Amino acid sequence: MVRTPLTPEERRRGELFGTLLRQARGERSMVEVAAAAGVSAETLRKIETGRAPTPAFFTVAALASVLGVSLDELAAVCDREAEHDRAALSA
């Protein structure tokens, strides 16, 4: 299966999402959080570094649950940043 290349905006949103998860993880280890969410530490590492900018919904939901972050909150922050990026490009 060939994936459509991501737009710069999609890559930026993935990086932002990874940063949000990293901040929510705080002092907890990557291994601890990944295990609690039922994903590999490598998957979490890729998401946090933006190398996996479009993780599966159930992966996002599991991580959000373990980290105590609502999906609505994550989406809202990513949407605000995307809107900010669009406004900057059109200015």
When pLDDT is averaged across residues 24-34 and rounded to a whole number, the result is: 96
* pLDDT the model gives residue 13: 87
CATH number of 8-90: 1.10.260.40
| Global pTM exceeds 0.75 | yes
CA pair distance 42, 72, nearest whole angstrom: 25
Cβ atoms 17, 45 nearer than 8 A: no
Q: Is a pLDDT exceeding 80 seen at residue 83?
A: no
Cβ atoms 26, 87 nearer than 8 A: no
Using one digit for the tens of pLDDT, what is the confidence trace for 53-62? Answer: 889 999 999 9
